Amino acid sequence: MKIKEEYDVDDYPEIYHRDTPPEVPDDYMANADSIRAGAKKALALYLEDENYLYLWESKDRIPQKAAEKLSLKSILGCASCLEYAIISDDLLAMRRHGNAAGYLSCFAFCAERVREILKPVEECQGMVMSM
């Protein structure tokens, strides 16, 4: 131990003499109940978010290369991954969603890009429909 190498026996710091804290189980997570509650709240926010819903409704109209570039599959999968984490009580995965605002801003950014991609297609379809 470094303490034994660096100090004389009479000069050991106070912390050396303290009892070793008890071990915690490997599956222990601090604030588990608040993580669970936060995950449920985040999932509800995702599923009600207008941008998330727009992406979900538009996913089949987006060209595959554009969808890949936007990582659309991963973005849309975040809600189902969180739902699975809640069901399986995966606290580590749930904790990643502690800041739902980050995911919501990602939905907004992606939805804006999708609107830009689909705008010419929708305008063209509108012209055809009006003929």
Domain span at residue 105 reads 32-130
* Greater pLDDT, 17 or 109: 109
pLDDT of residue 124: 60
Q: Which residues contact 76 (CB under 8 A, 6 or more apart)?
A: 52, 55, 56, 59
Span 83-101, pLDDT tens digits: 999 999 999 999 999 999 9
In this predicted structure, the answer to whether residue 131 has a pLDDT above a threshold of 60 is no
Q: How far apart are CA 131 and CA 108, in angstroms?
A: 34
Model pTM score: 0.74
Residue 71 lies in a domain: yes
pLDDT of residue 33: 96
Q: Position of tokens 């950014």?
A: 109
Q: How far apart are CA 24 and CA 30, in angstroms?
A: 11
Q: What is the dihedral of CA 92, 94, 95, 97, to 10 degrees?
A: 140
Residue 55 lies in a domain: yes
Span 2-56, pLDDT tens digits: 777 778 778 888 887 888 889 988 878 889 999 999 999 999 999 999 999 999 9
In this predicted structure, the answer to whether residue 130 has a pLDDT above a threshold of 60 is no
Nearest partner of 45 among 87, 93, 106, judged by Cα = 106
Residue 5 lies in a domain: no
Residue 8 lies in a domain: no
Average pLDDT, stretch 93-116?
Answer: 96
Q: How far apart are CA 110 and CA 68, in angstroms?
A: 12
Residue 18 lies in a domain: no
**Number of domains present in the structure of the chain:** 1
Residue 53 lies in a domain: yes
Residue 93 lies in a domain: yes
Residue 7 lies in a domain: no
Span 115-128, pLDDT tens digits: 999 987 666 655 54
